[in-house]
Amino acid sequence: MASPTTTDLSTLLMIDSATARDRDDAFAVTPLTGGRGWTVEIHIAGVADVVDLGSVADEQSFLRAETRYLPGRTIPMLGDTAEQAATLTTETARTSLQVTGTLTPDGRLADVTVGRGQIPSGRCAAVDHAQVPGTLTDPAHPLHAQLAAADAAAQALLGARRNCGALAFYDLTRGWATNEDGAIVPIAAELRTVAYVIVQELMIATNEAVALWCVEQGLPILFRNHRPNPVAGPADELMTEIAAASGDPDLFAKLRGRLLSTLRAATYDPTVHGHSGLRLSAYTHVTSPLRRVADLINQRIILAHLDHSPTPYTPNQLAALGADLNRRTRQSREAKKNHFKHADHRIVTQEAARDLTALDARTFHKVLKTAATAPLRDEIAAELARRVDADLLTAPDVAVLIDAADPTWRPIQLRVLDTLADTHPEMGPSVVSVWRQTHPDQPPTDLETRQSGADHHPLFAARATHRSIRGPWTTAAAKKPAEQAALWAALRAQLTGTDHPDTEPDWPITEPSTQPTTPPPAPQDSGPAKSVEPHRKTTPAALNLDGAKKSKALSNPTAWLMSLAQNNHQDPPEWEIRTDGPAHAPRFTATVHLAGHTATADATTKTAAKTASAAALIEALFARQ
Residues 479 and 597 in one domain: no
**pLDDT (tens digit, 9 = 90+) per residue, 98-132?**
999 999 999 999 999 999 999 999 999 999 999 99
Alpha-carbon distance of 463 to 473, in angstroms, equals: 5
Q: Are residues 212 and 321 in the same domain?
A: yes
- Give me the helix-helix angle, 315-352 and 293-306, nearest 10°: 160
Q: Provide the domain limits for residue 555.
A: 550-623
Instruction: Tell me: pLDDT of 2 over 80.
Output: no
Task: Choose the final residue of a domain: 473, 496, 519.
Answer: 496
Instruction: Establish if 384 belongs to a structural domain.
Output: yes
Task: List Cβ neighbours of 472 (8 Å cut-off, separation of 6 or more).
Answer: 463, 489, 493, 500, 502
Q: Is 478 a member of any domain?
A: yes
Please check whether residue 261 is in contact with residue 318, taking contact to mean a CB–CB distance below 8 angstroms: no
Instruction: Write the single-letter amino acid at 144.
Output: H
> pLDDT class for 604, splitting at 50, 70, 90?
confident
275 beta partners: 226, 280
Write out the H or E segment, with its range, that includes residue 161: helix 144-163
Strands 176-178, 184-186: pairing is: antiparallel
Backbone angles phi, psi at 578, to 5 degrees: -120, 135
Chain segment 124-162, per-residue pLDDT in tens: 999 999 999 999 999 999 999 999 999 999 999 999 998
pLDDT at 533 over 50: no
338 falls in which pLDDT band (50, 70, 90)?
Answer: low
The answer on 568 and 452 residing in a single domain is no
45 vs 41: CA distance, rounded Å = 13
The 3-state secondary structure of 191-226 reads: HCCHHHHHHHHHHHHHHHHHHHHHHHHCCCCCEEEE
So what's the pLDDT on residue 519?
40
The three-state DSSP-derived secondary structure of 106-146 is CCCEEEEEEEEEEECCCCEEEECHHHHHHHHCCCCCCCHHH
Query: Over the stretch 444-459, which tens digit does the pLDDT of each residue have?
Result: 899 999 998 877 778 8
Instruction: Report yes or no on 450 lying in a domain.
Output: yes
Examine the domain organization and report whether 80 and 180 are in the same domain: yes
Whether 398 and 321 map to the same domain: the answer is: no
pLDDT over 80 (residue 515): no
CATH of the domain at 604: 3.30.160.20
Return the pLDDT at 245: 76
Verify that 211 and 96 share a domain, yes or no.
yes
CB 193 within 8 A of CB 172: yes
Q: Does 470 have pLDDT greater than 60?
A: yes
User: What is the band of 276 on the pLDDT scale with cuts at 50, 70, 90?
Assistant: confident
Instruction: Over range 553-582, report the average pLDDT.
Output: 80
- Of residues 236 and 615, the one with the higher pLDDT is 615
User: How many CB atoms lie under 10 A from the CB of residue 520?
Assistant: 11
- Number of structural domains (the chain) is 3
Is 192 in the same domain as 271?
A: yes
Residue-by-residue DSSP string for 253-283: HHHHHHHHHHSPPPEEESS---BTTTTBS--
Least confident of 22-26, 78-82, 391-395, 540-544: 540-544
CA distance 487 to 323: 49
* Residue 137 shares a structural domain with residue 193: yes
Show which of 481, 496, 511 is a domain's final residue.
496
Higher per-residue pLDDT: 500 or 231: 500
Strand 38-45 versus strand 12-15 pairing type: unpaired
178 and 280 both lie in a single domain: yes
Question: Which comes out higher in pLDDT, residue 354 or 495?
Answer: 495
- Check whether 511 has a pLDDT greater than 50: no
pLDDT class of 585 with cuts at 50, 70, 90: low
Q: Which of 336, 351, 384 is the last residue of a domain?
A: 336
